[in-house]
Amino acid sequence: MFDLTGMTALVTGASGGIGSATARALAGQGARLALSGSNADKLAAFRDTLGGDHLALPCDLSDPGAVDALVPRAVDGLGGRLDVLVNNAGVTRDNLTMRMKDSEWADVIGVNLEAAFRLIRAASKPMMKARFGRIVSVTSVVGTTGNPGQANYAASKAGLVGLSKAVAQELASRGVTVNCVAPGFIRSAMTEALPDAQKAQLSARIPAGALGEGGDVAAAIVYLASREAGYVTGQTIHVNGGMAMI
């Protein structure tokens, strides 16, 4: 079950916490990957740890021209096909709304939402032609609940959900599914650096009693990328240990 042998996938933000866990999970199920990230050296080093015939495709997602070229580069490098697109890359520029600079708003919307739109638009063409495709975007629990100081981030993640629902309706008849995975608090280098008291506060908000792991999110993505998930589209799977029961 969930065997991805013979499938190809493009993963953005692939060398980060959730991105690397997702890449490992997809590769572990047999997919051949095009890994994208902004740090070329870090990306290449991570690609080498995976083994296999995977590609490292550095890309600055704040550059619309580079984003538009990414899917064609991936399709070319993966042998002329793209079965799965995982929009995982994201940035934060936190600030209270009344103090938020135009650049802080634009940076987050540009990378988190506009770049995802551009990649979905590009990926939909080869997927429709093949009459098969899986598009998965990583959103966030704060796209549903909101979070003070993150109006830009919450808006970008909520926008991904609306975007995915619209595109899901457009592509369903061509065998292409479009879904989201919304993580809650996931263990990362950033959360590990928090004081113990703050970690305890975070855990207290989660009925499961602990922060999630990157692999928890990756497992949901693998399912949505699989052939078995062909009748699931326009949905958001929340992976948050029960902190927000949507």
Just list the catalytic residues.
153
Tokens (6 digits) for 225: 């990328």
Tokens (6 digits) for 176: 């292409």
Cα angle 36-2-240, degrees, rounded to a multiple of 5: 70
Q: Is the dihedral of CA 218, 220, 223, 224 positive or negative?
A: negative
**Helix (H/G/I), strand (E/B), else coil: 41:** helix
Of the candidates 17, 54, 60, 55, the residue with the CA atom closest to the CA atom of residue 37: 60
User: Using an 8 Å Cβ cutoff, are 26 and 49 in contact?
Assistant: no
Q: DSSP secondary-structure letter at 6?
A: T
**Helix (H/G/I), strand (E/B), else coil: 183:** strand
